[in-house]
Amino acid sequence: MIGSLFRGPDSRAAWMVTLAAAGVMMVTMGVRQSVGLFVSPMNTTTGLGITTISFALAVGQFAWGAIQPVAGAFADRHGPGRVLFWGVVALALGSAVTPFMASGFGLVVSLGLLTAMGSGAASFSVLLGAASRHLSPQARGSASGVINAGGSFGQFVFAPVVQKLIQLFGWMGAMWWLAALTLGALPLIRKVSPRPGAAPAHAPAAGGPGLRSALGVAMTDRSYLLLHAGFFTCGFHIAFLVTHLPGEVSLCGQPPSVASWSLGIIGLANIVGSLLAGAQIARHRSKYILSTMYSSRVVLIAVYLAAPKTAWTFYLFAAGLGLTWLATVPPTAAIVGKLFGVRYLSTLFGLTLLSHQIGGFLGAYLGGLALVRTGDYQWMWYADMALAAFAALVNLPIREDRIAPALAPG
């Protein structure tokens, strides 16, 4: 299925761009999704408290989303190369300086701003928009699944590696190792960015409405706003889990290795989920794919809450969650592309990701508050189930036929 969408005279170039974008995503998302493993050792060493650290990570959730439309708009106007380069550099710098931060404000600057904004600038909105300009419309759905799977593979690889680095070098040394590993993504950026003076093979035609006009049309469209509402709840869910799953594992009397392997399993399962989601976009309406994914989360959480909290419970829970973890990205991006085309995809999908990360801010921060005030995450699990059910419902009325073809010659 995937291979058939990359056949033709441009197939080799399409694969190179897609795999390079997936490689960048592997690094940036692998680093970002492993940050929850640092919460406990960081709290033990610094004494800053779970609430303070959770707030810094919550700011990071919001900043990761806030930078997406800004980075996307810059990439739409000037090309993705510089955006991706400075994003990777900022991510590495944020990891490198975090061990020197001895206050909550310092953590907000390093983890909440530098690391998060760097990861966001070299993430979904810019990478999917950049790759889409090199690909035919038929290949974009599957390509988005491959690129998204790169981020999931990064989580699978980085989570156990980071846990091992923390054990060997302490959390500070592990942060410096992450900074060095992050810079390994820089050579891949040239493969994603067109050469100076060369237009991507499937770039949208010049002319047509400008960015401001495109934003005006998008922000008054009911389907686009409903998509934001559903993606908000997805952000709440993911940020809560990636930040506080290690704490939940600890509360249930399991060792830290169970948390790191659970995060890794989520990433591994999401490789399968992302590829399946990308392939299904060409066969089914994306809104139904999204509704099914969100509904499955309600069932999974209910089963988890009723099950005994053994290591295998966490592993099976992680595998189930992983099938939809970030597999929501390809169908969500596909709907934005169907509505408005790819001319301003980086910007418009970036705004959708901002909605995702507003939910992420609440998921990360409220999880910390819940633990401090009640001693566990029970009420967060109930909120997570309610929001997942809400997301499943609000995606159903979305209209997927293109409503603004003038915005998108490509």
Per-residue pLDDT tens over the stretch 32-91: 878 878 888 888 888 888 888 888 888 887 888 888 888 888 887 777 888 899 999 999
What is the residue extent of each domain of the chain? 11-190+205-407
- Residue 9 pLDDT: 46
pLDDT score, position 137: 62
Q: In the chain, count of helices (H) and strands (E)?
A: 17, 0
State the SS3 of 267-322.
HHHHHHHHHHHHHHCCCCCHHHHHHHHHHHHHHHHHHHHHCCCCHHHHHHHHHHHH
- Euclidean distance between CA atoms 12 and 135, whole angstroms: 11
Residue 283 clears pLDDT 90, i.e. is over it: no
- On the question of pLDDT at 130 being above 80, the answer is no
Residue-wise DSSP of 203-253: PPPS-SS-HHHHHHHHTT-HHHHHHHHHHHHHHHHHHHHHHHHHHHHHHTT
Radius of gyration, alpha carbons of the chain = 20
Sequence-distant (6+) residues with CB within 8 A of 79 are 193, 194
Using pLDDT thresholds of 50, 70 and 90, give the confidence band for residue 393: very high
For 326-336, how does the pLDDT look when each residue is reduced to its tens digit (9 = 90+)? 888 888 888 88
Dihedral of the alpha carbons of 199, 202, 204, 205, in degrees to the nearest 10 = 70
* Rounded Cα–Cα distance for residues 247 and 257 (Å): 12
Cα dihedral across residues 199, 200, 206, 209: positive or negative? negative
The pTM score is 0.72
pLDDT tens, residue by residue, 172-231: 999 999 999 999 889 888 877 755 444 454 445 444 556 777 788 888 889 999 999 999
The pLDDT of residue 381 is: 94
> With 80 as the cut, is the pLDDT of residue 24 above it?
yes
The domain made up of 11-190+205-407 is a member of CATH 3.40.710.10: no
Q: How far apart are CA 86 and CA 97, in angstroms?
A: 16
Asked whether 93 and 118 are in contact (CB, 8 A), the reply is yes
CA 56 to CA 103: how far, in whole Å? 10
Residue type present at position 106: G
pLDDT at 114: 92
Q: Please give the pLDDT value at position 368.
A: 84
